[in-house]
């Protein structure tokens, strides 16, 4: 018997990890983080640009170990799956019971992502930090913005729930908690 998997998706900086951390502190759940498995950030800029030119095949972003991790995690309790892909990849789609898209204007998400990285990063020097920031902002129009547009076009329409994540994190977490409780009730019936 396996428990439901609820995917929480949205662009970087929208608050997926923050909301999941809040819910884990309130409820008995498992969390699986896509970022712990992803390999796109290991690729060179040229490889990522080639991936974009080839139509951004999302299945290339998903290592087999991630699907195995999801299957194992849902054996004893409900799973919150923090992922940029929602149901857009068939291997995930078959496992996901409910999909939530966190909606947020791109400028707010970008500001949050930069703030999270700057404040939470383990920077050896200001030079390291400014190097990362310069690289991120330089890549934004060529790589990040087109990827985010494709993510919104391909993942958002497959979500069961759309939540305004431009609000404060506690309001977003409360709304998702209500959804989790609904899923738990329907699962236990």
Give per-residue pLDDT as tens, 38-69. 888 888 888 988 998 899 898 888 887 898 99
Separation between Cα atoms, residue 102 and residue 159, nearest integer Å: 10
Measured in degrees and rounded to the nearest 5, phi and psi for residue 113 equal: -60, -45
**pTM score, two decimals?**
0.89
Domains in the chain (CATH in brackets) are 5-188 (3.40.50.300)
Of 68, 72, 70, nearest to 83 by C-alpha is 70
| Structure confidence at residue 1 as a pLDDT band (50, 70, 90) | low
pLDDT in tens, 120-168: 777 788 888 888 888 888 888 888 888 889 999 999 999 999 999 999 8
Beta bridge partners of 7: 81, 99
């Amino acid at each position: 018997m396996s428990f439901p998997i609820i995917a929480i998706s949205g662009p970087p900086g929208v608050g997926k990890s923050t909301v999941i951390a809040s819910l884990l502190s309130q409820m008995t759940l498992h969390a699986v983080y896509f970022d712990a498995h992803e390999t796109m950030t290991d690729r060179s800029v040229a490889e990522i640009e080639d991936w974009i030119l080839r139509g951004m095949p999302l299945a290339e972003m998903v290592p087999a170990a991630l699907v195995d991790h999801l299957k194992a995690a849902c054996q004893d309790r409900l799973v919150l799956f923090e992922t940029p892909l929602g149901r857009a990849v068939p291997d995930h789609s078959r496992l996901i019971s409910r999909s939530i898209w966190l909606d947020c204007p791109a400028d707010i998400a970008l500001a949050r992502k930069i703030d999270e990285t700057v404040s939470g990063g383990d920077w050896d020097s200001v030079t390291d930090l400014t190097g990362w920031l310069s690289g991120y902002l330089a890549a934004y129009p060529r790589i990040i913005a087109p990827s985010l547009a494709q993510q919104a076009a391909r993942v958002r329409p497959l979500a069961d729930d759309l939540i305004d994540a431009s609000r404060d994190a506690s309001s977003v977490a409360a709304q998702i908690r209500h959804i989790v409780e609904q899923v738990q009730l329907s699962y236990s019936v």
